[in-house]
A and B are shown apart, each in its own frame.
Chain A
């Protein structure tokens, strides 16, 4: 915990203690960048996290926090795939409500992030995955510095048009599983146009994790976020 009111933080957020979004750790060093990944059930969040870990782990010190609905499936998948050593992956229990744990009551997630920094740090980047939830589930700014919303082409090509906070406000919108588009009859050009119209210039990435290096555009975006964070 790093809430002592005596710490001479320089660029902390407003408020009595900079409880959550405080950019510094108790020893005064800058904490890891935290990126949230949310989106509907099965869109490919865990697969994206796994691919990002593989793409970035040689250059960055990484950790992952998962928020499963009622199992440890996401954490177990990442462990099985051995994308990171076990001590770098923490599963938060959400009482069947990931959106509460990532937005309304973020204390368990903050503790998980801080414990990871204490135990396996220093870290450059913590990825926080929310269990699949609805289109309105977004991360609190007190928990993450930036968020990625992952949808897929198989969930219906009208999701970008429908909008919702995830689609319209996420720092990055990922439209995953483009390899399936011909099979499910999704119109990628229409999805791109709808997303553009909804997002007021915020970036959108179309990806297929079935293709070689499919996560490279998202990985490049993450590197950009990190460069801005550490600048």
Chain B
């Protein structure tokens, strides 16, 4: 594996559509649940919550896909772990966009096969795991990409939504790094068990407020972000 390939895949500028999504931050800002960088209604707490719920679930899926688990089964498992229809739509949209970018960047028969299976997009973490494989990366790398993206998305969005100081937002991400390491370890472990025991071994944590507010957000007539 090449470490540089990991940087290419993890780069926020990797053209896979993430820039149009806030990871629930837009809804949380509007509801007054994010008002600044840290504190009771802080970006940091929001990201922490996301990290240990949606983040862990996504990273587990990505790790399992990178380890070669059946992507179609993983996609079903992702559906089952995403109660909000709006979030399922967003995950497939992003999966389709990532698929396009990944196939152009690291052509691979496995990606081609998954694209044929899901012409309108598989869940993003599943595509991410296969993209990592195609790039010669491992399960841990896939999980890191997934976990990082789960907090960096809301952080960049909050900079735009609240005009939050970008240095503060980056500081939040840096402070969360040790916790990201922990979540990645759990995700990779779950991914390994998934290969042996099936998709039920994957984490199924969920943040009800993220799911509910995603539904509400999808109905707004005017919004900056798609989710």
- Chain A residues near B (Cβ < 8 Å): 1, 3-5, 15-17, 19-20, 70-72, 93-97, 100-101, 104-108, 110-111
Contact = CB atoms under 8 A, between A and B. Distances in A.
B164 interface: no
Nearest to B105: A16
A3 B112 contact: yes
18 contacts: A1-B115, A3-B104, A3-B112, A16-B104, A16-B107, A19-B100, A70-B223, A93-B226, A95-B19, A95-B157, A95-B224, A96-B160, A97-B20, A105-B15, A105-B16, A106-B15, A107-B97, A111-B96
Contacts of B195: none
Contacts of A5: 107, 112
Contact of B225 (A1, A17, A96): A96
A70 B103 contact: no
Q: What 6 pairs across the A-B complex have the smallest Cβ distances? A: A95-B20, A107-B97, A105-B15, A93-B226, A19-B104, A96-B224
Nearest to B153: A95
Contacts of A94: 20
A44 B163 CA distance: 30
Interface of A is mostly: loop
A15 to B, nearest CB: 7
B101 interface: yes
A3 B100 contact: yes
Given A70-B222, A71-B222, A95-B224, A107 B107 contact: no
A215 B15 CA distance: 35
Interface residues of B, number: 30
B188 to A, nearest CB: 28
Contacts of B104: 3, 15-17, 19-20
B62 interface: no
Given A1-B119, A101-B20, A19 B224 contact: no
A15 B221 CA distance: 40
Contacts of B157: 95
Contact of A93 (B18, B99, B160, B225): B225
Nearest to A118: B119
B13 interface: yes
A20 B104 CA distance: 9
B21 interface: yes
A19 B103 contact: yes
Interface in B43-98: 93, 96-97
A44 to B, nearest CB: 23
B17 interface: yes
Nearest to B119: A1
A108 B15 CA distance: 10
A200 B99 CA distance: 39
Interface in B132-164: 157, 160
Interface string B184-227: 00000000000000000000000000000000000001111110
